């Protein structure tokens, strides 16, 4: 119950809660559209990878593969 209490306590501001209420279901809707499920359901470590992946996409940092 400690993790839940911490998460709940870190989301006190009404705007923060509203944004989470919108953003999290949207992230699931995207997977429904793609026909797959979120990666963290298969591997919980993806919860940590996802923010890094998104930051790299936003900053234009892509993996360059040599031909």
Per residue, the 3-state secondary structure of 1-67, as one string, reads CHHHHHHHHCCCCHHHHHHHHHHHHHHHHHHHHHCCCCHHHCCCCHHHHHHHHHHHHHCCCCCCCCC
Domain ranges of the chain: 1-36, 39-67
Quick: pLDDT tens for 15-63: 999 999 999 999 799 999 999 999 999 999 999 999 899 999 999 987 7
Q: Judge if pTM exceeds 0.75.
A: no
């Amino acid at each position: 119950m400690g993790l839940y209490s911490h998460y709940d306590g870190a989301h006190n501001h009404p705007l923060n809660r509203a944004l989470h209420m919108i953003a999290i279901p949207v992230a699931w809707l995207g997977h429904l559209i793609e026909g797959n499920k979120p990666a963290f359901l298969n591997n919980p470590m993806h919860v940590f990878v996802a923010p890094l992946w998104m930051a790299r996409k936003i900053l234009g940092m892509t993996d360059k593969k040599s031909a």
